[in-house]
Amino acid sequence: MLCFCGEGIIPWPQVRVRIHMQLWRIERVSSREPLKPLRFTWVSPCISDKDFLMFDSRPLYGFIPPYILNRIIAHGSEQQRSSALGTLTHVRSLRHNPGPPDQPPAAAKLPRPGKAGHPQRSVHDAQNTMELPGQPVRLEGQPASGDPAVDEAYDALGATYDFFWKILGRDSIDNKGFALVGSVHYGQGYENAFWNGAQMVFGDGDGEIFQRFTRSLDVVAHELAHGVTESEAGLVYANQSGALNESISDVFGVLVKQYVLEQTADQADWLIGADLLTDKINGDGLRSMSNPGTAYNDPLLGKDPQPSHMREFVITREDNGGVHINSGIPNRAFYLVATTLGGFAWEKAGRIWYDTLCDRKLANDASFSDFARLTVEHARQRFGAREVQAVQDGWRQVGVDLTQER
């Protein structure tokens, strides 16, 4: 149990809180180092680490985290600030848990229904408006349009479908052949991509910080994986369950990319959004699963804030309780498991994570520990002692307690 009281002392052994860039970061320190009082602006009764408060009262949902957009608004040029502010204002209106896929947009033009194993893709052009889905440009089976954004979206939707069907036996995001609708050229200088419960939407970026979002296959797969999560566990998009929601999308995002590139776990770069940043930004991508906190370090965007261990777990008012931040912890756990087992990451580690996501015992408010224990269980059910040990070691190396019960 954690208690916030008095002048800000936290009676948790070997832990202190440091205020850092609007984030409250919990760090383990030497037991001989005194805890210095910090004055907090609020007082909370005792709560469990799983039930940490959702500090952000305005849930945000999209690939680019709000703290990056806020940095651009604070430090960018006039054009950069305008694009980021417009994006952030819109993202605040999105539902953070849109629910399981029900039906594609009513106005979307769809291909004829096909049989399982064959995607139903429909790519539309929003023509730099914010009206969805826009004009149909390329339907399933039609030739390339010549518009890079349209064709990239079409190919990425197909690659993601193929991965889930051929590797996991899943027929689209709802496992019922749901049509994959995407809209490109959304808004003007729109700096995000998102899944709204019915379709994918891609902005073109501002051209100075972000390039068009269809360039990054793992971004497309990441957002579609949110639809898979909504169809299965429906993980609440806040705090640890929200960070798991984000991490699972990162996991399947990199797995789809590795599958297309035919990369083993050791060959992969384990970066999310590596194709998004322009050469004006000092960064390799938006997130690194192998080494969270190192993806970028740029005067405009700041430094990647992701932790790689529970001792660095961030408590923040932003980002739905840090869903894009603390996802670095389960991300690194997956990377450690996948590289320990070797070979193609989707064959064992990916299968274990997918089985866990589809397990009805996974609560929608699951903590890291809840999810971790189920991954161990599924490693045992599907594989054997070596895989169980790899999963246990992966979680332990990032400080997630496998014995903690609800």
Q: Would you say 329 and 310 are in contact if contact means Cβ atoms under 8 Å apart?
A: yes
Q: Is 75 exposed, middle or buried (0-12, 13-18, 19+ CB in 10 A)?
A: middle
SS3 332: helix
pLDDT of residue 110: 85
Summary mean pLDDT of the chain: 85
Select the more confidently predicted residue: 3 or 371.
371
Q: What is the pLDDT of residues 312-341, one digit of tens each?
A: 999 987 889 999 999 999 999 999 999 999
pLDDT of residue 112: 78
Q: What is the pLDDT of residues 11-66, one digit of tens each?
A: 333 333 333 333 433 333 333 333 333 333 232 223 233 333 222 333 445 789 98
Q: Would you say 44 and 4 are in contact if contact means Cβ atoms under 8 Å apart?
A: yes
Residue count of the chain, please give it: 406
Q: Closest Cα to residue 399, out of 301, 336, 309?
A: 309
Please report the domains of the chain, with CATH numbers, ordered by start residue: 1-47 (no CATH), 66-231 (3.10.170.10), 239-397 (1.10.390.10)
Q: Would you say 26 and 15 are in contact if contact means Cβ atoms under 8 Å apart?
A: yes
pLDDT of residue 106: 72
Beta bridge partners of 135: 125
Select the more confidently predicted residue: 173 or 11.
173
Mean pLDDT, range 185-191, rounded to an integer = 94
Q: Would you say 359 and 320 are in contact if contact means Cβ atoms under 8 Å apart?
A: no
Give the percent of the chain with pLDDT over 90: 74
Select the more confidently predicted residue: 54 or 137.
137
Q: Is the peptide bond before 133 cis (omega within 30 degrees of 0)?
A: yes
d(CA 260, CA 255): 9
Does the pLDDT value for residue 162 go beyond 70? yes
Q: Catalytic positions, please?
A: 223, 324
d(CA 54, CA 385): 38
Q: Is the peptide bond before 100 cis (omega within 30 degrees of 0)?
A: no
pLDDT of residue 37: 34
DSSP string spanning 229-260?
HHHTT---SSHHHHHHHHHHHHHHHHHHHHHH
DSSP code of residue 174: T
Q: Closest Cα to residue 84, out of 196, 183, 192?
A: 192
Q: Would you say 99 and 230 are in contact if contact means Cβ atoms under 8 Å apart?
A: yes
d(CA 310, CA 28): 9
Q: Which two tokens stand for residue 197?
A: 């419960």
Mean pLDDT, range 114-137, rounded to an integer = 94
pLDDT of residue 14: 31
pLDDT of residue 12: 33
Q: Would you say 254 and 272 are in contact if contact means Cβ atoms under 8 Å apart?
A: yes
Select the more confidently predicted residue: 303 or 31.
303
Mean pLDDT, range 165-186, rounded to an integer = 96
Residue type at 248 in one-letter notation: I
Q: Which two tokens stand for residue 221?
A: 């797969």
Q: What is the pLDDT of residues 235-293, one digit of tens each?
A: 999 999 999 999 999 999 999 999 999 999 999 999 999 999 999 999 999 999 999 99
Q: Which two tokens stand for residue 194?
A: 């998102």
Beta bridge partners of 297: 303
Does the pLDDT value for residue 350 go beyond 80? yes
Q: Residue 14 to residues 23, 312, 404: CA-CA distances in angstroms? A: 19, 12, 19
173 sits in the region (left: phi over 0; alpha: psi -120 to 50; else beta) called alpha
Q: Would you say 52 and 239 are in contact if contact means Cβ atoms under 8 Å apart?
A: yes
Under the banding of pLDDT at 50, 70 and 90, the label for residue 90 is confident
pLDDT of residue 406: 62
Q: How many other β-carbons are positioned within 10 Å of the β-carbon of residue 31?
A: 7
Q: Which two tokens stand for residue 314?
A: 């961030």
